[in-house]
Amino acid sequence: MNDIDPSPDDVGVGFAALGLRAETLAALDELGYEEPTPIQRETIPLLIEGRDMLGQAATGTGKTAAFALPILELVEAGRGPATPIALILVPTRELAVQVSEAIFKYGRHLLDGRGVKVVPIYGGQPIQRQLQQLDRGVHVVVATPGRAVDHIGRGSLPLDTVRTVVLDEADEMLDMGFADDIEAILDSTPSDRQTVMFSATMPPRINSIAKRYQRDPVRIQIGKGDTKVSKALIRQRAYVVMRQHKPAALGRILDIEAPRAALVFCRTRGEVDQLTETMNGRGYRAEALHGGMDQAQRDRVMGRLRDGTAELLIATDVAARGLDVDLLTHVVNYDVPSAPESYVHRIGRVGRAGREGVAITLAEPREQRQLQNIERLTKQQIEIGTVPTVADLRATRIAQTTEAVREALNADDLHDFHDVLEALSGEHNVRTIALAAIKLAHEAVGGPADEVEIPDISKRFERNRDDRGERGPRNDRPDKARPGRDQKLPSGNDGPTGYLFIGLGRRGGVRPGDLVGAIANESGLTGRQIGPIRISDAYSVVGVPEHRVDDIIDTMRSTLIRGKKTTVRRYTD
């Protein structure tokens, strides 16, 4: 395997060096991608060459662009409606939409600005609409295996012009019972196609698919480069929050941590600008650091950090390069970094010269694997923190007010306000007047009244992490398992199984993959942790680790299954 090690020499190699066409480079620039992630740097030139590939990489590494950008090299204007040049298979509807959107964005300048035509094809959406889209002509199809098989069966998905097939999150697809579908699909594509497989883990079945369907694949893995974290000195903590709650969560964590100076890493320039604005709007003194700034501008920003005018520096990896960092007490990863090595590199900016530092990472539930990869690489556990609650915030603010009043009690000029007390003491008792004065002090101290509770999903994340361990042998296809009425089947090593009632069944067109996909997406569980599944005419029952039942019900309230809202509750026979 080629291990990817982003050594300091390769940083700074931009997308242009990878051999991508100008239209793609322009789109990446507009998206604010400053440089390729390690996996992109490694894979893109090889994929453009036409090599087959077997890559071990989790979500969050930038693997979508790694396989998508080379596909865009194949897009050409032709006569008549477009025919698919690439078929990308993904385990879930959400991923199908996400990958399609990414490809659309990367390819928007192609074909003289008309843009690449991409269609996501997944169960749950009316097939009629997909038929129309396919009929009008597309360059790239992103499909879940089940729906792809449906279309192949109907003759509505022409595959004879396909030059590249990508299996994304291959292990998940196998976990979900799609092995036969995948093989059937691969058998329907031209035999001289390029076959690219990405998987977070490499169970034997992936290797056997590789052996059967790939030609001399390049094997790559997100590497085992520099993994040393100056252990004792850096306190590492991750918080699990949904994306929409990140700005509020960051503010609260900073309130509690009270950094002297913090460096916050974002993925793109756009995110840097947006977060800088948001944090300033929330009353923090934040400065953006941009790749394009010259030395004088950087010095000015650093000066503001040094004299305390700024407390947060928000930057991309590129912009933060070569930063004079002695001041920093905290490094924040606003997202889990794209490669474990960049995590190590980033957090190494604190804990220098014997001083202590704090590394904070905001992770979304889907980034769980990525966090585990980092732990595996650094051989250290990242503590999972709990985002401060509204009650914690109030308690902190009350403590600050108490401190402010205590300080004022020592002031020399208290007697200046004697007249105010005199004027009021005829109307109210002194205790009430004191409370009113404290209220004013409190309002003066308190930052924004951020009174909305941020859902705490860290506990279930941690439990999930504890449960997972190393992956064991696979379960059967989930739809083959049929629990009896009272039967509680253990699911892997996740302890007892609890059951969800889902108010959609065969009549609603539900298939096991829809249920596994929806639950996996919302909960961060892997396919292996979900099951058995029983689908009746009117409803379905799905097994999940017992201790996850309640929070899954909670997160699935607004989830659509096959495009429909449905009841999800505990199944109690």
**Does 65 sit near ligand AMP (CB under 6 A)?**
yes
Question: Which is nearer to ligand AMP, 61 or 555 (by Cβ)?
Answer: 61
Binding mask 191-230 for ligand AMP (x = CB under 6 A): ----------------------------------------
CA distance 264 to 276: 10
> Given the rule CB under 6 A, which of 3-11, 57-65, 207-215, 499-507 is the region that contacts ligand AMP?
57-65
CA distance 307 to 305: 6
Minimum CB distance to ligand AMP, residue 367 (Å): 9
Question: Which is nearer to ligand AMP, 71 or 305 (by Cβ)?
Answer: 71
Residues 384-423 that bind ligand AMP (CB under 6 A): none
Minimum CB distance to ligand AMP, residue 103 (Å): 11
**Does 100 sit near ligand AMP (CB under 6 A)?**
no
Question: Which is nearer to ligand AMP, 373 or 491 (by Cβ)?
Answer: 373
**Does 521 sit near ligand AMP (CB under 6 A)?**
no
* Per-residue H/E/C for 468-534: HCCCCCCCCCHHHCCCCCCCCCCCCCCCCEEEEEECCCHHHCCCHHHHHHHHHHHHCCCHHHCCCEE
Contacts of 184 (CB under 8 A, 6+ apart): 149, 152
**Does 534 sit near ligand AMP (CB under 6 A)?**
no
Pairing verdict, β 533-535 and 540-545: antiparallel
Token output for 381:
């556990």
φ, ψ at 553 (rounded to 5°): -60, -40
Q: Which of 6, 38, 55, 62 binds ligand AMP (CB under 6 A)?
A: 62
Task: Decide if 155 contacts 100 (C-beta within 8 A).
Answer: no
**Does 64 sit near ligand AMP (CB under 6 A)?**
yes
**Does 92 sit near ligand AMP (CB under 6 A)?**
no
Question: Which is nearer to ligand AMP, 103 or 148 (by Cβ)?
Answer: 103
Q: How many CB atoms lie within 10 A of CB 414?
A: 11
CA distance 523 to 508: 23
> Given the rule CB under 6 A, which of 42-50, 61-69, 171-179, 438-446 is the region that contacts ligand AMP?
61-69
Question: Which is nearer to ligand AMP, 6 or 492 (by Cβ)?
Answer: 6
> Given the rule CB under 6 A, which of 45-53, 54-62, 481-489, 514-522 is the region that contacts ligand AMP?
54-62
- By CB under 6 A, the count of residues binding ligand AMP is 14
Question: Which is nearer to ligand AMP, 117 or 267 (by Cβ)?
Answer: 267
Identity of the amino acid at 2: N
**Does 91 sit near ligand AMP (CB under 6 A)?**
no
**Does 72 sit near ligand AMP (CB under 6 A)?**
no
Q: Which of 55, 60, 348, 513 binds ligand AMP (CB under 6 A)?
A: 60
The residue among 313, 318, 320, 333 whose CA lies nearest residue 262 is 313
Question: Which is nearer to ligand AMP, 82 or 197 (by Cβ)?
Answer: 197
Question: Which is nearer to ligand AMP, 33 or 571 (by Cβ)?
Answer: 33
Q: Which of 63, 349, 528, 534 binds ligand AMP (CB under 6 A)?
A: 63
CA distance 425 to 442: 21
Minimum CB distance to ligand AMP, residue 135 (Å): 29
Minimum CB distance to ligand AMP, residue 62 (Å): 3
Token output for 100:
């399609």
Question: Which is nearer to ligand AMP, 43 or 566 (by Cβ)?
Answer: 43
Residues 26-45 that bind ligand AMP (CB under 6 A): 33, 36-37, 40
What three-state secondary structure class fits 362? strand
Q: Which of 161, 221, 230, 268 binds ligand AMP (CB under 6 A)?
A: 268
How many CA atoms within 13 Å lie on the side-chain side of 248?
19
The residue among 62, 132, 135, 125 whose CA lies nearest residue 92 is 125
Task: Decide if 6 contacts 341 (C-beta within 8 A).
Answer: yes
**Does 366 sit near ligand AMP (CB under 6 A)?**
no
CA distance 340 to 360: 14
Minimum CB distance to ligand AMP, residue 551 (Å): 24
User: Starting from the edge strand earliest in sequence, which strands make up the sheet with 218-222, in order?
Assistant: 2-4, 218-222, 53-56, 194-199, 164-167, 86-89, 140-143, 118-121
Minimum CB distance to ligand AMP, residue 346 (Å): 14
Minimum CB distance to ligand AMP, residue 37 (Å): 5
**Does 278 sit near ligand AMP (CB under 6 A)?**
no
CA distance 286 to 280: 6
Please state the length of the chain.
573
Minimum CB distance to ligand AMP, residue 563 (Å): 24
The residue among 293, 294, 291, 313 whose CA lies nearest residue 304 is 313
Task: Decide if 182 contacts 209 (C-beta within 8 A).
Answer: yes
Residues 320-339 that bind ligand AMP (CB under 6 A): 338
Element holding 444 (H helix, E strand) = helix 430-445
Question: Which is nearer to ligand AMP, 68 or 82 (by Cβ)?
Answer: 68
Q: Which of 108, 147, 245, 267 binds ligand AMP (CB under 6 A)?
A: 267
- In order of 233, 318, 459, the CA distances from 454 in angstroms are 30, 31, 13
**Does 349 sit near ligand AMP (CB under 6 A)?**
no
Question: Which is nearer to ligand AMP, 159 or 222 (by Cβ)?
Answer: 222
CA distance 320 to 288: 10
Q: Which of 24, 43, 56, 61 binds ligand AMP (CB under 6 A)?
A: 61
Question: Which is nearer to ligand AMP, 236 or 370 (by Cβ)?
Answer: 370
CA distance 350 to 359: 8
Q: Which of 43, 59, 92, 368 binds ligand AMP (CB under 6 A)?
A: 59
CA distance 168 to 474: 19
Binding residues for ligand AMP, rule: CB under 6 A, are 33, 36-37, 40, 59-65, 267-268, 338
